[in-house]
């Protein structure tokens, strides 16, 4: 559990370092500009840290499932080598996915100007500037990504149904409390992360910026990495 928490901490530091420093620098220098390469970098690292964090949270759900539902097999299934392999697979596969996703995004033809109505570069805002044919292709990629994210969410939900079923069978109140105490922080982090970012990305994009768009961007880009250390 602590090995995966270390990965989660690194990802939290990385994800909050993508939008916040540039926004603070722009605020101090009273400017609202960002270079094209800077925009590409923001999109790449924001997707990379966010999706990798979601993958690590999914692996952590599996870790909790094995620990509580199959405790006698825990040392064999979740040994050090297996943990390193799962974490490395998540980091490497998401890096490749992010590179392809970012490349596909910036291969589009942007014919809607160069003003991004957000405090950092994000794909939904970039789609507003894209031409229609490329827009449909990128939208398909986002739908595919959403389906994968939903699959991970279903896996987490099924894991926790099994976990809570097992916990309710524990005869002692102290045993139930100990089991739940290792799961509730993770479940809280997953809920915060999933519902904020999915609400923002599944919400229909409007042609003009709104206070709700800005609030949701702050909520899903800053709130989870800020709250995770407090929750744990």
For the chain, 232 residues long, the average pLDDT of each consecutive 10-residue run is 91 89 84 86 91 92 92 92 95 92 82 76 77 66 80 91 90 85 86 74 56 72 82 82
Q: Within a domain: residue 210?
A: yes
Q: In this structure, how many other beta carbons lie within 10 angstroms of the beta carbon of residue 40?
A: 15
Q: Within a domain: residue 232?
A: no
Torsion angles phi and psi, residue 110, rounded to 5: -95, 110
CATH number assigned to the domain comprising residue 139: 1.20.1070.10
Which pLDDT score, from 0 to 100, does residue 199 have? 66
Which pLDDT score, from 0 to 100, does residue 203 have? 60
Which pLDDT score, from 0 to 100, does residue 64 have? 92
Residues 6+ apart with CB under 8 A from 150: none
Nearest to 183 by CA among 48, 62, 70, 90: 62
Instruction: Kindly report the length of the chain.
Output: 232
Which pLDDT score, from 0 to 100, does residue 104 have? 82
Which pLDDT score, from 0 to 100, does residue 206 have? 53
Q: What does the pLDDT look like over 139-177, one tens digit per residue?
A: 677 787 878 888 888 999 999 999 999 988 888 888 888
Which pLDDT score, from 0 to 100, does residue 202 have? 62
Using H for helix, E for strand and C for coil, what is the string for 201-212?
A: HHCCCCCCCCHH
- Distance between CA 135 and CA 117 in Å, rounded? 17
- Distance between CA 147 and CA 224 in Å, rounded? 21
Which pLDDT score, from 0 to 100, does residue 55 have? 93
Which residue segment(s) compose the domain that 94 sits in? 2-227
Q: Considering its fold, how many domains does the chain have in total?
A: 1
Our measurement of the distance from residue 214's CA atom to the centroid of its chain's CA atoms, rounded to an integer in Å, reads: 18
């Amino acid at each position: 559990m602590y090995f995966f928490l270390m990965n989660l901490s690194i990802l939290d530091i990385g994800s909050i370092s993508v939008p916040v420093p540039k926004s603070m620098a722009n605020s101090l220098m009273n400017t609202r500009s960002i270079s094209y390469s800077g925009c590409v970098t923001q999109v790449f690292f924001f997707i990379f840290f966010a999706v990798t964090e979601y993958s690590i949270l999914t692996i952590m759900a599996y870790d909790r499932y094995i620990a509580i539902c199959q405790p006698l097999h825990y040392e064999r299934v979740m040994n050090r080598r297996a943990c390193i392999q799962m974490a490395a697979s998540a980091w490497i596969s998401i890096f490749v996915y992010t590179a392809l996703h970012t490349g596909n995004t910036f291969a589009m033809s942007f014919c809607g100007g160069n003003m991004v109505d957000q405090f950092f570069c994000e794909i939904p805002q970039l789609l507003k500037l894209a031409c229609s044919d490329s827009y449909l292709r990128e939208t398909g990629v986002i739908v595919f990504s959403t389906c994968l994210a939903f699959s991970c969410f279903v896996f987490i939900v099924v894991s926790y149904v099994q976990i809570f079923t097992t916990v309710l069978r524990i005869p002692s109140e102290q045993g139930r409390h100990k089991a739940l105490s290792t799961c509730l922080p993770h479940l809280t982090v997953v809920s915060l992360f999933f519902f904020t970012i999915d609400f923002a990305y599944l919400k229909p994009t409007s042609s003009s910026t709104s206070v709700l768009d800005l609030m949701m961007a702050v909520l899903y880009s800053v709130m989870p990495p800020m709250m995770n250390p407090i929750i744990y």
